[in-house]
Amino acid sequence: MNPLDKKAFEELLANCDDEPIRTPGAIQPHGVLLTLAEPELRILQISANVQTLLGRTPDESVGAPLEHLIGAEYTQQVELAAQHDNQLEAPELFFSLNGGVFEGFVHRHQGVLVLELEVQAEPAKVAGQATNLGRMLQRLQAAKSLQALYEISVQEIQAITGYDRVLIYRFEEEGHGQVIAEASSPSMEVFQGLFFPASDIPEQARELYRTNWLRIIPDADYQPVPLVPKLRPDTGQPLDLSFANLRSVSPIHCQYMKNMGVLSSMSISLLKGDKLWGLISCGNRQPLHVPHELRSACQTIGQVLSLQISAMEALEVSRQREAKVETLAQLNQAMIDSTENVFDGLAQQPELLLALADAGGVAIIEDKQLHRYGNCPEPDDIRALHKWLQASSQKVFSSHQLSLLYPPAAAFTQVASGVLAMSLPKPVDNGVLWFRPEVKENINWSGDPNKPLNLEDSESGLRLRPRTSFEIWKVEMAGIATKWSHGDLFAANDLRRSALESDLARQVLREQRAVQARDDLVAVVSHDLRNPMTVISMLCGMMQKAFSSDGPHTSRRISTAIDTMQQAAGRMNTLLEDLLDTSKIDAGRYTIKPQALEVGEMFEEAQALLTPLALDKDIEISFQAEPQLSIHADPERLFQVLSNLVGNAIKFTPRRGKIGVVAMSSGEDIVFSVRDTGEGIPQDQLPHVFDRYWTIKDGNPTGTGLGLYITQGIVEAHGGRIEAESEVGTGTEFRFTVPRSAITTS
């Protein structure tokens, strides 16, 4: 299509979309339509054929009460019907007027009551056909496949209505549609399998199909009947006939019908959720007025078919998933068994990977490694595509027309018009990319999809003129692959989930092994150092006696050096013990040995051992325990906690300060408190006091930063908790709880 044609065509489509199909200002002639002002039911507008069908002129009808037109009895029936918002619950309306029989329909829309009096068509014929509805619904429900469901639907509708052709038309994602089932008279042109361009049904027409289950045109050769007056007297606007059975349709559509060789049509919408899935389209070579009761039966079939389509498509999705389960399990095991990584495991099963997504080729990326199997683009093209996919940040990506989204893909459409890809959140490049080749399929089009309708001039400018030829066009689909199914997408997502779980399991195992290696190293170093440190301590003791003031080799200098060595050896032993405790806490293997313990007795022992340290700094220290307070705890570990907290308090409390140690019961817990009047801890440091290797540097040259971390571990091993409060210049309080009956291990 040249640029001028393209511009004109776009203008045509815009004109078609702007056509007032909801407010045509006219109706079809097989009935009378009027609008009524409530509550008095005064006629506001009426169709001009009221004189032909009811023997009254429009002028004498507009402004008059409804009963002047149809009588008081029928007016009362209309009032009763109007009280029902749901038309299905409203009583049926049948009127004998001016020698004819009419069926009435009432609905409200945009603040006005609309009454339609439709000429009743062959009522005697309807009863026998409508009684078959139950049998038809049973056949629909018994269908074993979607295609069988479609075939039964078109056959049954053709049988009860008498249309020459009944077909099901399904909309595709790209907007065009395909005939997927058809029941036709032998003399009719067959449309089964044909594709129709998207522009055949403009967007506003599709929206009307979505909101209205059924539309009927008994005779496409009709002359539209205008409304009198043309505009609504109450609003000055055209009357919206979206929900009127008699609404006049676009003249373009009527011409379209004639070009297809039909003069009568009926359309039944097929919905999936609230979206238009397709249409049941009926056509007849001669005018045909299908009675309302039969139309209702057809509408019911459409509604049941819509539900069945949704249900059976869901079953199809489930079947597709089930078909992938075994392959996914094999690939999952391959990832688990791999000694390297999950992608190396997948690389060992290329046939399974290809079969999983029914792909022509697959590429596996893990950092610098790139494995290709089947028909794939070149490595550089794959790397560039993978980089683009990473920028999209999609966990799983799919496209059956890749070159539209990623133009460089036009260079390799023969092997990769479609791509399905997944990757894991890792610091290195990784992922699996499945490729599908271009499918050069010939699609049978009913008309040229690139120029579906011809042009004509009209009073309102350029308009679309329905095509006059339905020659089948062969259109080659370039750069398009077979679509990825729901099952394919499920498989990619499930494989990604399994790969993620396997990769995380490997990371956890590596972490566990690293922790175990560290624990083993700490244990070996501790064991190997403990013996020489003991020997050093013993030798220091012997040397100290030899060089003491009472010994034969008195030397103050040597004696001081020996004291320093002994203190260093003691600190080394303490550090080794702390490292062992830290390792056990980190690994979750810290154990306690609880037993019955009197808190008062423990405080007496602690006071005897710790008071001398406090007296060296002239610090007043007190221990107070609630009388007869008992606990089930590990005495050695609990004493370690008290010693650490009191020792820290002594270390950071200035001379003539105070330290108080208190224990009291609180429900099922014992609460211990160690409070001092020391320097205090800055507020920004307080949240970190129990972290490993945290320590106050000033005035604490020997601190390892493990004491409070181990203290927390001991308290938590007992099932308790510890916290600290502090104010700089005022002091610090550590509080910890221990259950009366402690757990045995942690």
Task: Give the model confidence (pLDDT) of 111-164 as tens digits.
Answer: 899 999 999 876 544 444 555 667 777 887 788 888 888 999 899 899 888 999
Specify the pLDDT at position 29: 96
Residues 6+ apart with CB under 8 A from 419: 385, 397, 398, 399, 402, 409, 433, 434, 435, 436
Specify the pLDDT at position 708: 85
The two three-digit tokens of residue 209, written as one number:
């199909």
Closest CA to 11 of 451, 340, 464, 447: 464
Between CA 147 and CA 443 the distance in angstroms is: 20
Element (DSSP H or E) covering residue 737: strand 731-739
Closest CA to 209 of 147, 266, 150: 266
- Please report the beta strands in 472-569, taking only residues with DSSP state E, as ranges in sequence order: 472-476
Alpha-carbon distances, residue 666 vs 38, 273, 424, 737 (angstroms): 76, 60, 50, 9
For residue 447, the 8-state DSSP code is S
**How much of the chain, in percent, has pLDDT values that exceed 90?**
36
Cβ neighbours, 10 Å, residue 428: 11
Between CA 145 and CA 167 the distance in angstroms is: 17
Higher pLDDT, 278 or 469: 278
Question: How buried is 406 (Cβ within 10 angstroms: 0-12 exposed, 13-18 middle, 19+ buried)?
Answer: middle
Torsion angle defined by CA atoms of residues 450, 456, 457 and 462, in that order, rounded to the nearest 10 degrees? -20
Residue 301 has pLDDT above 70, yes or no: yes
Alpha-carbon distances, residue 448 vs 7, 199, 464 (angstroms): 17, 11, 14
pLDDT in tens, 2-53: 443 445 444 544 555 567 788 899 999 999 999 999 999 999 999 999 999 9
Closest CA to 425 of 395, 398, 397: 395
CA 33, chain centre distance (Å): 47
Residues 6+ apart with CB under 8 A from 528: none
- Give the model's confidence band at 658: pLDDT under 50 very low, under 70 low, under 90 confident, else very high: very high
Between CA 433 and CA 359 the distance in angstroms is: 10
Rg (CA), the chain: 45
What does pLDDT average to over the chain?
82
Element (DSSP H or E) covering residue 446: strand 442-446
The two three-digit tokens of residue 429, written as one number:
């490049």
Closest CA to 103 of 113, 116, 90: 116
Between CA 409 and CA 404 the distance in angstroms is: 8
- Please report the beta strands in 335-374, taking only residues with DSSP state E, as ranges in sequence order: 361-366, 369-374
Domains defined along the chain, listed by start: 26-120 (3.30.450.20), 124-315 (3.30.450.40), 508-585 (1.10.287), 590-739 (3.30.565.10)
Residue 741 has pLDDT above 90, yes or no: no
- Which of 360-364, 410-414, 510-514, 526-530 has the weakest average pLDDT? 526-530
- Give the model's confidence band at 718: pLDDT under 50 very low, under 70 low, under 90 confident, else very high: confident
Between CA 530 and CA 534 the distance in angstroms is: 6
Specify the pLDDT at position 362: 94
The two three-digit tokens of residue 609, written as one number:
């051992």
- Give the model's confidence band at 537: pLDDT under 50 very low, under 70 low, under 90 confident, else very high: low
- Which residues partner with 228 through β-bridges? 46
- Which of 352-361, 538-547, 594-603 has the weakest average pLDDT? 538-547
For residue 65, the 8-state DSSP code is B
466 in Cβ contact with 256 (< 8 Å): yes
Residues 6+ apart with CB under 8 A from 337: 345
Averaged pLDDT, 583-599: 74
- Which residues partner with 97 through β-bridges? 100
CA angle 25–28–31, rounded 5-degree value: 110
- Which residues partner with 314 through β-bridges? none
Higher pLDDT, 679 or 559: 679
How do strand 112-119 and strand 165-171 relate by DSSP bridges? Answer: unpaired
Between CA 421 and CA 405 the distance in angstroms is: 14
Residues 6+ apart with CB under 8 A from 668: 739, 740, 741
How do strand 722-727 and strand 731-739 relate by DSSP bridges? Answer: antiparallel
3-state SS record for 107-151? EEECCEEEEEEEECCCHHHHHHHHCCHHHHHHHHHHCCCHHHHHH
Higher pLDDT, 541 or 599: 599
Largest pairwise CA distance in the chain = 148
597 in Cβ contact with 632 (< 8 Å): yes
Specify the pLDDT at position 704: 56
Alpha-carbon distances, residue 177 vs 62, 180, 183, 277, 446 (angstroms): 44, 9, 18, 10, 10
Residues 6+ apart with CB under 8 A from 192: 167, 179, 181, 182
Specify the pLDDT at position 284: 95
Whether a cis peptide bond, with omega within 30° of 0, leads into 379 is no
Element (DSSP H or E) covering residue 610: helix 599-615
3-state secondary structure of 236: coil
Averaged pLDDT, 308-319: 82
